[in-house]
Copies of this chain bind each other. A is one copy, B any other.
Amino acid sequence: MNLILLAPDELDGQRAVLADARRLKHLHDVHRARPGDELTVGVMNDRVGRATLVELDAHRAVFELGTLAAAPPPALPVHLVLALPRPRMLARTLEHVTALGVKRLTLLHTKRVEKSYWQSPELNIDKIHQHFLLGLEQARDTVWPEIELIKGFRPFIEQRLPALMKDHRGLVAHPGMPNACPRQVSEQTLLLVGPEGGFIDWEVEQLLEAGCEGIHLGARILRVETAVTALLSKLF
């Protein structure tokens, strides 16, 4: 928790009051915080600054806010479309990509996504939000990501992709594509990453026909969570 992210209902003028067990425990056990300590705070979707802890007990923490003048770190210019990974991989990947600055995320069904993954409790919106929160706290960010779940590949291609391609450079990451992952891209990018086992040929064809460029990460086959971090780090 490198930043304490304050929700609007936790603010009270120049004060903020936290009462949730997770953050109180973290303040006690990890920060070993005491009244008088200064910590980094940020207001949801807004500015970042310092705050002084004025009260801390088992039930609540009260902060006196300083001037919150700093902008959160810049977001990545990317819309990430991820074939739904298996649940444990999803959980970690959500935290990685949130910490890296992804703000627009689509989880997509493709042929090689196991259908049972769509029933996983990890897709509960509260669980997803918890991973977003941990990612933002880690990276000292305040800007909440948007997520959408699209449970069919064809509806995505027909109804969602054409609008996205209007204002994004589309990149489909897939082993064996002709071009290496580009570097230091600044334009708005739509990045599509397949499931464990990859997109099927027909899916790749559909994406290329829609105007996406095929890119690869070299001869090494990486796990989804490693590949996504590697792609975002090379691209931006």
Contact = CB atoms under 8 A, between A and B. Distances in A.
Contacts of A92: 92
A229 interface: yes
Nearest to A229: B229
A226 interface: yes
Contacts of A232: 230
A226 B99 contact: yes
A159 interface: no
A184 interface: yes
A80 to B, nearest CB: 15
A139 B218 CA distance: 10
Interface residues of A, number: 28
A49 B141 CA distance: 46
A223 interface: yes
B184 A220 contact: no
A71 B25 CA distance: 51
A169 to B, nearest CB: 19
Contacts of A184: 183
Interface string A93-105: 0011001110000
Interface in A53-97: 73-74, 92, 95-96
B219 A140 contact: yes
Interface of A: 2, 73-74, 92, 95-96, 99-101, 138-141, 183-184, 218-223, 226, 229-234
25 contacts: A2-B221, A73-B220, A74-B219, A92-B92, A96-B223, A96-B226, A99-B223, A99-B226, A100-B220, A100-B222, A100-B230, A138-B221, A139-B221, A139-B222, A140-B219, A140-B221, A183-B183, A183-B184, A226-B229, A229-B229, A229-B233, A230-B230, A231-B233, A233-B233, A233-B234
